[in-house]
Amino acid sequence: MPPSSSQMQADFPSTETPTADLHPDVESSYNGSNVMFRLMRLGTWGPVLMNLGSYRFRGIFSWIHLPGNLELAQERLVYETVDQLDLRPGQRILDIACGRGKSSFMLHCLQSDATIVGLDYLERHVQVARTLFHEEQRLKYVAGSAIDLPFPDASFDRAMCLEAAFHFPDRNKFLKEAARVLSPGGRLVVVDFTWRTEADRAHRNDPETRLVRKIWQWEDLSSLEQYRQGAQAAGLVLRRHEDWSPRVTAPIQRLFEWFSWLGNSPMKRKLLIRAKPMYRALTADDWKELAEVVRAHDIVQKRTRYSAMVFDKP
C-alpha cells in the first residue's frame, strides 16, 4: 500500500546531504558568474524561477515587449509542464530539481488537496524555497539527488523535472530512480534539451558548444531515442514527445541577439541604459563577451531541441 501523507512527511527529512550527481560547479549556471545570467538577472528573469520561459506572441511586433515579460513567460512554462501531468485530486507529486521552489508552490496552489514535495540538489535553493514559500502539511522541500532519490518505492503518483536533467551525468539512472518512486499508473514529465541527431552530438567538442556547456554546466545531452531506451529499461513508456523549441529556445535566442545588437553599439547602449539604468552594471567588455555567447548559443540551438516528454509507468 502506498504511504499516506503523514507517513510521507515522516519519511522526508528536512535536510539531506545530496550525492554529488551533478557537475561540481552547477551553481555557477545560476549565480550570475557569467554575462548571460547577469544580463537576465538585471531584467525580470527570476529571481525565483530559473527556466527559459514560454513565449506566445500576438502581433508582428509583440516580441518587442518580451524583455518585460520574462517572469510571466517562466510561469507559463511551468503551467504548460504541469498540464502534461494529467493531475487528479489528492495525488502525491514530486517536483525534481525544483530550484528555488516556486514551481512546487505553483503546484500546491493548483492542487490544494495534493501532497507536493520539491527536491533540489542545492541546499541553498531549498533554504530559499522554505523562506519564500514556507512548508506546511502538503508542501515540503527536501535537498537531495535526482539520481539517488531519498524516498521509498511508489511514494508518488506524478513527478516532473523541468529544464534540469541536462545537468545530470546519468539520465538513465535518473529515469530508473523516477520510475522506482512512482506508483503503478504514475506519470513522469521531463522537459529537457536533446540532440536532434547523432551527427549533431558529434559537434559536442566544437569551441562554440564547449562555451555553451561551460555556461550551463553540462557534459553531454541525450537524444530523444536515448530517452526512449532509458525509459524502457526503467519500466517506463514514452507516451508523448513535443518539440517546444519554437516557443522557448527560439524566442529567447532572438531576445539575446537583440540585446547584443543594442549593447555593442555605444549609442544604442545609452538608450538601453536610459530605459533601464541597472544595465550600467555591464561594461563594454561584457557586451563583447555577450556577443560571443549569443553566437555560440545560436549554433547549439540549431543542433538541439527543447523537448517535452511524457513517460507513463504501466
Looking up residue 204, the CATH number of its domain turns out to be 3.40.50.150
Residue 85 falls within a domain, yes or no? yes
Residue 161 falls within a domain, yes or no? yes
Sign of CA dihedral 212, 213, 218, 221: positive
Q: Is the pLDDT of residue 7 over 60?
A: no
Q: What is the pLDDT of residues 149-198, one digit of tens each?
A: 999 999 999 999 999 999 998 999 999 999 999 999 999 999 999 999 99
Q: Is the pLDDT of residue 236 over 90?
A: yes
pLDDT value at position 16?
A: 42
Residues facing 311 on adjacent strands: 188, 238
pLDDT value at position 29?
A: 63
Residue 127 falls within a domain, yes or no? yes
Look up the domain containing 307 and give its range.
Answer: 5-249+295-312
Counting the structural domains of the chain, the total is 1
β-pairing verdict for 182-195 and 222-223:
parallel
Report residue 9's pLDDT band, with 50, 70 and 90 as the boundaries. Answer: very low
Q: Under a CB-based contact definition with an 8 Å cutoff, are residues 305 and 243 in contact? A: yes
Torsion, Cα 63 67 73 75, to 10 degrees, reads -170
**pTM listed for this prediction:** 0.90
pLDDT value at position 28?
A: 62
Residue 258 falls within a domain, yes or no? no
> When comparing pLDDT for 187 and 29, which is higher?
187
pLDDT value at position 270?
A: 95
Q: Rounded to an integer, what distance in angstroms lies between the CA atom of residue 306 and that of residue 309? A: 10
Residue 308 falls within a domain, yes or no? yes
pLDDT value at position 108?
A: 97
Residue 281 falls within a domain, yes or no? no
> When comparing pLDDT for 180 and 15, which is higher?
180
Report residue 238's pLDDT band, with 50, 70 and 90 as the boundaries. Answer: very high
* Centroid of chain to Cα 68: 20
Report residue 49's pLDDT band, with 50, 70 and 90 as the boundaries. Answer: confident
Whether the upstream peptide bond of residue 89 has omega within 30° of 0, thus cis, is no
pLDDT value at position 225?
A: 97
Residue 284 falls within a domain, yes or no? no
> When comparing pLDDT for 244 and 68, which is higher?
244
DSSP type of residue 145: B
> When comparing pLDDT for 6 and 260, which is higher?
260
Residue 270 falls within a domain, yes or no? no
